[in-house]
Amino acid sequence: MAQYTLETDGQVCPFPLVEAGAAITKLDLGDELTISFDCTQATDALPRWAAENGYPVTHFDRVGDAQWTITVQKA
């Protein structure tokens, strides 16, 4: 299992979600993608996107006043 990071800080929604969708298609099953973002709407949109696509969320943290990271596994 490999781990990848996607930095989307400074991007407004829906771009963190669009970039995450494109990035995860390039991963192998079992790989994890950690997405760093500061768009408050993505705190709802990214976990919902992961659930709708069957990608388990393995980590979700607030790392600053308005910054989060979420890790999803390609399954």
Q: In what order do the strands lie in the sheet with 32-37?
A: 3-7, 32-37, 67-73, 57-64
Of 13, 34, 45, 69, which is the active-site residue? 13
Asked about 39 being catalytic, the answer comes back as: no
- Paired sense of beta strands 57-64 and 67-73, if any: antiparallel
Residues with a catalytic annotation lie at 13
